[in-house]
Amino acid sequence: MIRFGAVFAITTTLFAASPASAQSAEPVGVWLTEKGDARVKVTKCGNGICGVIVGLKDPIDRMTGQPQVDDKNPNPALRTRPVIGISLFIAMRPSAPGKWSGQIYNADDGSTYASNVSVTGADTLRVEGCVGMLCGGETWTRVGR
């Protein structure tokens, strides 16, 4: 199964403040995860943002020879859906300039976590997931311009 890296790691981390100019930027575009294993297309959805997996480094499951599926999903009816096309962001709404808060789905374990997404530069996006007070995150890089 695909590993999305530290986005969902349960570790405490201190994050540096973002420059004010990055705070006003929009996250719309295609982003490569920190480990380079997935591409996520971020679009505007109403007054929030949506993020959908549009590509995988390894789209074929080596065990089955078939496209990777959401086999860790707690809903048995969704365990055969392809990973490409899964919506990662759930109810992601603006919470500050250049920042959105909501939930994020982790296909690695089938869980949903509290999440923040922040524009930290013209081509960088900070994606954080939290369980209680423990948070982890990674920086995604914009693909193309």
Q: Report DSSP state, residue 133.
A: T
**One-letter identity of residue 123:** D
Give every residue of the chain whose pLDDT is below 70, as ranges: 1-24, 145
Picking from 43, 64, 56, 30, the residue whose alpha carbon sits closest to that of residue 108 is 56
**Which residue do the tokens 């982003």 mark?**
31
φ/ψ region of 36 (left if φ > 0, alpha if ψ in -120 to 50, else beta) reads left
**pTM of the entire structure?**
0.82
Give the pLDDT of residue 112. Answer: 95
Give the pLDDT of residue 145. Answer: 65
Q: What is the CA radius of gyration of the chain?
A: 15
Using an 8 Å Cβ cutoff, are 39 and 32 in contact? yes
Q: 3-state class of 1 per DSSP?
A: coil
Query: In whole angstroms, what is the distance from residue 51 CA to residue 30 CA?
Result: 9
Give the pLDDT of residue 3. Answer: 42
Give the pLDDT of residue 24. Answer: 52
